[in-house]
């Protein structure tokens, strides 16, 4: 049988256990935060868990191909963001008859989450995709601009402009204290 150029060899047994241990350790340390990220992006916990699980499975499958295993978290974070984009794209393109009922949170979850928190999540979900992603990565996961740029695969300048424009888009009738405010500058006084 002739090997195809796109065929990827499976990891060797010794490296398979090492990669399994590394991915497991990464999963144990960061899965919960990534699930929270995906829940904020999607508004649906089961879908968020699926996205994160797929991202870690993809990391395990491609572990041997990573040029720098120290950037594995960034790889998984990018995979989660891309998975969320895919889920949202499929939701938006599915005909209403096939889409079924929108995801509904359980009564327990709704009761535990404050009204203000729900308003913040609603406001975040109302932002355009890129702005929502940048704000969630910046203020929810507390990533710096360089890490956000790497996760979203955009430039740092785009991160800066996206995060600075997003707060200006929220309606003034619904102030959200948890979203960042743009600093106001007063003009210098002429003497």
Which pLDDT score, from 0 to 100, does residue 56 have?
96
DSSP code string of 26-37? HHHHHHHHHHHH
State both tokens at 136. Answer: 């969630």
Per-residue pLDDT of the chain (191 residues; tens, 9 = 90+): 444 444 444 444 446 788 889 999 999 999 999 999 999 888 889 999 999 999 999 999 999 888 888 889 999 999 999 999 999 999 888 665 455 555 666 665 565 566 777 788 888 888 888 898 898 888 888 889 999 998 888 999 999 998 888 665 554 334 444 444 444 455 555 65
Cβ-contact 37, 80 below 8 angstroms = yes
Q: What gap in Å lies between CA 19 and CA 63, rounded to an integer?
A: 6
Q: Output the CA torsion sign for 45, 25, 58, 135.
A: positive
């Amino acid at each position: 049988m002739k090997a195809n150029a796109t065929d990827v060899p499976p990891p060797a047994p010794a490296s398979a256990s090492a990669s399994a241990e590394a991915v497991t350790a990464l999963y144990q340390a960061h899965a919960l935060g990534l699930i929270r990220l995906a829940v904020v992006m999607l508004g649906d916990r089961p879908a968020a868990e699926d996205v994160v699980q797929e991202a870690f499975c993809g990391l395990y499958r491609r572990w041997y191909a990573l040029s720098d295993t120290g950037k594995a978290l960034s790889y998984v974070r990018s995979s989660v963001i891309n998975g969320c984009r895919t889920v949202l794209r499929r939701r938006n393109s599915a005909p209403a008859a096939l889409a079924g009922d929108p995801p509904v949170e359980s009564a327990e979850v709704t009761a535990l989450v404050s009204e203000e928190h729900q308003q913040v999540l609603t406001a975040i979900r109302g932002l355009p995709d890129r702005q929502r992603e940048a704000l969630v990565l910046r203020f929810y996961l507390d990533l710096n601009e360089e890490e956000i740029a790497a996760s979203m695969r955009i430039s740092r300048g785009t991160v800066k402009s996206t995060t600075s424009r997003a707060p200006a888009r929220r309606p003034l009738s619904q102030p959200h204290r948890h979203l960042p405010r743009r600093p106001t500058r007063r003009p210098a006084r002429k003497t």
